[in-house]
Structure 1
Amino acid sequence: MSSEYRTGREGEFTYRGHTLDELRDLELDEVAELLPARQRRTIGRGLTAQHEKLLEKVRDADPEETANDPIRTHLRDMPVLPAFVGKTFSVYNGQEFERVEVEPEMLGHYLGEFVLTRTSVEHGQAGIGATRSSKFVPLK
């Protein structure tokens, strides 16, 4: 499976000197040592019951299955772990579930970083009476 993910000059994906297959074989505590400080702290303090449940669901899921029926979650604060790579998630953004396909480059980030909660605002024209200058908008 690691042959699918190619990056960098060397060809095979590595995260801090470890290949994807090596990372999958490591225990959660060993993976946590490789993650950035914020994610290391999250795992070190202990994952909640909801996080553990999601992790079990991910470990049991088949990547081909998740492509058609993604794993739905509200847990935007779940760190992306090696078990997540190749799987598809539907992450809640506050309004709807948005699809996220986890790639190896996402390791060490949070799921919520890939689903924006705010959209860009595109303002239209001001209505008549909205501003002082709009009183003089020609009717034609």
Structure 2
Amino acid sequence: MADVQNRKRKSLSKISFRGVDAETLLNMSTEEFKPLLRSRGRRKFTRGIPKSHERFLEKLQKKKQEANGQKPAVVKTHLRNCMIIPEMIGSVIAVYNGKVFNVVDVRPEMLGRYLGEFSITYKPVARRNPNGNLPLSRMVSLK
């Protein structure tokens, strides 16, 4: 019993993106964040951010300021191809999947990925027997 109490508690792993810790990432601008991305992301930001993405980022910043330290209000979007950048961390975004808006809470682990990756567009098929839980290929005849 004493061993269990004396055992050190596992510390939570520090969140980092490509060797840069979360606190530094929060203070980074998009230009400072660009070299940390993979080639597809660097190319996207080098060519320029579309106006629709800029308006979306402005909405996110506005909702964050209105929140006053609490969880910001949900911002709906159809921009599935919008890449997650440090300015978005802590925001709550509803991403459209073609039918409904799926709510996504943006965390530091999501940096460099697209919003569409967190809002699945199809319903996974459960291949099951209508009379039982086993897949059809695993059914055993009872004869």
Same structural fold, with TM-score higher than 0.5 when normalized by the shorter chain: yes
Structure 2 residue aligned with 1:19: 21
Percent of aligned positions with the same letter in both sequences? 36
Gaps spanning 5+ residues in structure 1: where? 1-8, 126-140
Shift in Å at residue 37 of structure 1? 1.6
1:55 has 2:61 as partner:
no
In structure 2, the residue matched to 1:114 is: 118
Distance in 2 (alpha carbons) for counterparts of 1:104 and 1:30: 16
After superposing the two structures, state which structure 1 stretch, 92-101 or 20-29, moved more: 20-29
Distance 2:12 2:35 in 1: 24
Task: State the distance in 2 between where 1:120 and 1:25 align.
Answer: 38
Whether the aligned pair in 1 keeps the contact of 2:78 and 2:95 (CA below 8 Å) is yes
Q: Determine if the alignment matches structure 1 residue 91 to structure 2 residue 107.
A: no
**What is the rounded CA distance, in whole Å, between the counterparts of 2:117 and 2:21 in structure 1?**
23
Which amino acid in structure 2 is aligned with residue 112 of structure 1?
G
Alpha-carbon distance in structure 2 between the residues aligned to 1:18 and 1:60: 26
1:108 counterpart SS class: coil
With normalisation by structure 1, the TM-score equals 0.72
Q: Distance in 1 between matches of 2:47 and 2:30?
A: 13
3-state secondary structure, aligned to 2:102: strand
Q: State whether residues 28 and 86 of structure 2, in contact with CA within 8 Å, keep that contact through their aligned partners in structure 1.
A: no
Find the counterpart in structure 1 of residue 135 from structure 2: none
Q: Distance in 2 between matches of 1:112 and 1:18?
A: 24
TM-score with structure 2 setting the length? 0.71
Where relative contact order (Cα < 8 A, 6+ residues apart) is larger, the structure is: 2
RMSD, matched Cα: 2.1
